């Protein structure tokens, strides 16, 4: 809260506590003139989501946010000899920024460690946004909790309430692409001769079918 006679703080709300929302929160909480709150509709932040790629620019951003070391190397898949597990012709990539694979929750938890938990409110599904005459935004949540903010950050996913408010004519549409994912025990495939040790894509011969198989090994017992 601001002291008597001082300028009121900028009230900022972030909707969504995924990697994007948490990354934004880390930076906003560094600003002394910001009164921050983070709203997440889930009751708890748990392991959801599939495997993701952590590319060079993502590692650089994690460095900039100061959370690079929050990722346990044992929780990501990278080549044993340290070479990149995806080849894109970037031969100047520093070893600490080489491509790796991880579960989405690994990235989320690394970011969460750097966030002030007192600013996080769970079980908060945003249902309504209204612009008030004074140009602030009124927020109403499913549990009837309300808030009034000066700046609203939307990080609430593909069915974003914030996006719908900002761009009411936008409609989600099917792109025509379907992805299938599966987890395979490492012991079942490591014996295959010449199995590629980099993320590899196999493409179908026609425009109508595009198959992309990404290798993400699950260690025995995990």
Reference 21, options 50, 45, 3; nearest CA is 45
Whether 112 is in a domain gets the answer no
Whats the size of the chain, residue-wise?
222
Q: Is 10 helix (H, G, I), strand (E, B) or coil?
A: strand
Q: Which of 40, 42, 44, 39 is nearest to 137 (CA)?
A: 39
Distance, in Å, from the CA atom of 65 to the CA atom of 35, rounded to the nearest integer, reads: 19
Domain-located, residue 33: yes
CB 119 within 8 Å of CB 36: yes
The pLDDT, as a whole number, for residue 162 is 97
Residues 91 and 66 in one domain: yes
Residue-range definition of the domain harbouring residue 16: 9-44+122-169
- Tokens 């900022």 sit at which residue? 12
Token digits of residue 207 = 């425009």
Q: Are residues 61 and 93 in the same domain?
A: yes
Pairwise pLDDT comparison (175 vs 25), residue with the higher score: 25
Residue pLDDT, tens place only, 186-213: 677 767 787 665 566 655 554 433 333 4
The number of helix segments (H) and strand segments (E) in the chain equals 5, 12
Higher pLDDT: 139 or 89? It is 139
Taking the CA of residue 129 as centre, how many other CA atoms within 13 Å lie in the half-sphere pointing to its CB?
A: 22
d(CA 39, CA 142): 12
Question: How many C-beta atoms surround the C-beta of residue 88 within 10 A?
Answer: 10
Same domain, 189 and 87: yes
Q: Which residue has the higher pLDDT, 206 or 64?
A: 64
Q: Count structural domains, the chain.
A: 2
Q: List, in sequence order, the alpha helices (H) in the chain.
A: 19-28, 56-65, 104-112, 161-166, 186-189
- Order across the sheet with 100-103: list the strands: 51-54, 100-103, 76-77
Q: Are 128 and 152 members of one domain?
A: yes
pLDDT tens for each residue of 80-93 = 655 555 555 556 77
Instruction: Check residue 5 and give its pLDDT.
Output: 59
Better-scored residue on pLDDT, 152 or 158: 152
The residue assigned the tokens 């109403």 is 140
Q: Same structural domain for residues 161 and 131?
A: yes
Strand 120-121 and strand 10-15: the pairing is unpaired
C-alpha distances in Å from residue 114, one per residue of 26, 39, 118, 141: 7, 16, 12, 26
Same domain, 98 and 189: yes
DSSP state at residue 119: G
**Residue-wise pLDDT tens digits, 102-128:** 888 889 999 999 999 999 999 999 999
**Is residue 175 in a domain?**
no
**In CATH, what number is assigned to the domain containing residue 153?**
3.50.50.60
Predicted pLDDT at 83: 55
């Amino acid at each position: 809260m601001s002291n008597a006679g001082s300028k009121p703080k900028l009230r900022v709300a972030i909707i969504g506590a995924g990697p994007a929302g948490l990354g934004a929160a880390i930076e906003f909480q560094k600003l002394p003139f910001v009164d921050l709150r983070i709203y997440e509709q889930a009751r708890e932040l748990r392991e959801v989501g599939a495997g993701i790629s952590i590319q060079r620019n993502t590692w650089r951003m994690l460095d900039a946010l100061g959370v690079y070391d929050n990722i346990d190397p044992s929780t990501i898949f990278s080549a044993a000899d340290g070479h990149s597990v995806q080849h894109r012709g970037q031969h100047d990539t520093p070893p600490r920024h080489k491509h790796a694979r991880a579960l989405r929750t690994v990235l989320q938890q690394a970011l969460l460690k750097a966030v002030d938990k007192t600013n996080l409110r769970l079980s908060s599904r945003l249902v309504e946004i209204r612009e008030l005459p004074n140009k602030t935004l009124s927020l109403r949540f499913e549990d009837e909790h309300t808030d009034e903010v000066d700046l609203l950050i939307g990080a609430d996913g593909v069915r974003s309430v914030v996006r719908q408010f900002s761009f009411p004519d936008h409609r989600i549409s099917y792109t025509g692409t379907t992805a299938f994912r599966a987890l395979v025990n490492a012991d079942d495939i490591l014996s295959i001769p010449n199995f590629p040790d980099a993320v590899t894509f196999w493409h179908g011969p026609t425009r109508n079918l595009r198959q992309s198989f990404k290798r993400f090994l699950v260690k025995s017992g995990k």
